[in-house]
Amino acid sequence: MSVASSRHFLQIPGPTNVPDRVLHAIANPTIDHRGPDFADLALEVFDKLRAVARTSADVVLYPSSGTGAWEAALVNTLSPGDAVLMYETGHFAEQWSELASSLGLRPETIPGDWRSGVDPAAVEQRLRADTEHRIKAVAVVHNETSTGVVSDIPAVRAAIDAAGHPALLLVDTISSLGSMDYRHDEWGVDVTISCSQKGLMLPPGIGLNVISAKALLAAQSARLTKSYWDWQPLLTAGKQGYFRYTPPTNMLFGLREALSMLLEEGLDEVYARHDRHAAATRAAVRAWGLEILCRAPGTAPGTDYSSVLTAVLMPGEHDADHLRQVILEHFDTSLGAGLSKVAKKVFRIGHLGAFNDATLLGTLGVVEAGLRLADVPHRPGGVTAAIAELTGRSGE
């Protein structure tokens, strides 16, 4: 067993590693959240969030997890008994459905295989059948963190439009915002849901909604009970850079710094970096002779590989949690666990946020060593395949 002589390596799909620049910003002295300096901070954060979400729409922030942001999106737009069309892409889509049910909504879930994204044709078919427009919203997860599967949001929007249906489009970007190309306005999203601890490179603690004009109109007649999550007081206060309650002041210092880092690098460059690391990880998995949980693009409608994590299926009856434990004990490195239906069958390699080539190669080296120590059948050479992908020099 190795001795932990350095920092722990956190290679799960979130919370992610927090850059030093962000940690230092969070360590700023706390300021008066009713004073002018705070208003300047908040307004700058709102503007930079709009730039990252590629929107001109209103943004609200909560001291919350992503689950709180889910709830905010639902309670502000819907009424008791409203039907919500959802798609079973994995654990988090399932949890969002359970939350909707607990609020008194009627989630209607299109079954999925946990290896594929949202099938736009299935969404269109169900909405065409809803001639009375009982379905008030379509709620989908952009990047399903439990499975490493991405759904095609523009195609879902097109399916809603092709059906001629007035349903709102609510999109969970909890692990994709700041990590993968996402366009709230251009893609016709009504509510974007996200939080701080993934691509935004902060600790957990901030949830957010981006809100279209159509969603704001729906909020005027929504009758689900809300107080803490109510958009309107937050929007009113937010126009001057304030909150209706004590905000997470120091987290906002960190968020401003994280957003600045993303914009300094350039959003297209950030997304290309994530794409590149994901491709190298998949090359390693294939070289090991293991199977990626996400079905290859083209074999399932609306499906693509995630650029923020790769979920890997264990061969035979081998236990993914045992492999993860071996890697933790020997290399002080955490990998993501399989959740609910894929528990013990899958381990997840996070490659998002503050992440570079050296970190990726170290992570993949640890995984390859862990496979050997845990006696998991595999072929050697995964790290070599990743290096070839990163350098564009395969076969040299």
What does the pLDDT read at residue 296? Answer: 86
**Can you tell me the distance from the alpha carbon of 328 to that of 306, in angstroms, rounded to the nearest whole number?**
24
Q: Which two tokens stand for residue 237?
A: 């206060």
What mean pLDDT do residues 37-49 have?
98
Residue 299 structural domain? 9-16+266-391
Residues 229 and 298 in one domain: no
CATH number at residue 297: 3.90.1150.10
Residue 192 shares a structural domain with residue 313: no
Domain count, the chain: 2
The answer to whether 225 and 268 have CB atoms below 8 angstroms apart is: no
Distance CA 258, CA 264 (A): 10
**What would the two tokens of residue 157 be?**
């929007």
**What pTM was estimated for this model as a whole?**
0.97
Residues 138 and 103 in one domain: yes
Mode of pairing for the β-strands spanning 168-172 and 191-195: parallel
Same domain for 201 and 229? yes
Question: What secondary structure letter does DSSP report for 291?
Answer: E
What's residue 393's pLDDT?
75
CB 360 within 8 A of CB 383: no
Give the lowest-confidence range in 4-8, 91-95, 123-127: 4-8
In degrees, rounded to 5, the angle at the alpha carbon of residue 216 between the alpha carbons of residues 255 and 83 is: 105
Q: Output the pLDDT for position 2.
A: 56
Residue 1 falls inside a structural domain: no
Are 229 and 343 found together in one domain? no
Which residues lie below 8 Å from residue 149, measured CB to CB, with a gap of 6+?
A: 89, 90, 114, 115, 116, 117, 143, 293, 294, 295, 303, 304, 305, 306
Instruction: Specify whether 226 is located in the same domain as 274.
Output: no
pLDDT value at 150 more than 60:
yes
**How would you classify residue 266: left for phi > 0, otherwise alpha for psi between -120 and 50, otherwise beta?**
left
**Which CATH number does the domain housing residue 25 bear?**
3.40.640.10
Task: Quote the DSSP letter at residue 332.
Answer: -
3-state secondary structure 14-62: CCCCCCHHHHHHHCCCCCCCCCHHHHHHHHHHHHHHHHHHCCCCEEEEE
Written as six digits, the tokens of 187 are 């893609």
How confident is the model at residue 396, as a pLDDT?
A: 47
Residue pair 232/177 in contact (Cβ under 8 Å)? The answer is no
Q: How far apart are CA 288 and CA 347, in angstroms?
A: 14
Q: What is the pLDDT of residues 247-300, one digit of tens each?
A: 999 999 999 999 999 999 999 999 999 999 999 999 999 999 999 999 988 888
Q: Residue range 106-117: average pLDDT?
A: 97
Residue 348, annotated as binding a ligand: yes
pLDDT digits (tens, 9 = 90+) for 55-98: 999 999 999 999 999 999 999 999 999 999 999 999 999 999 99
Beta carbons within 10 angstroms of residue 3's beta carbon: 6
The answer to whether residues 234 and 273 belong to one domain is no
Distance, in Å, from the CA atom of 259 to the CA atom of 19, rounded to the nearest integer, reads 12
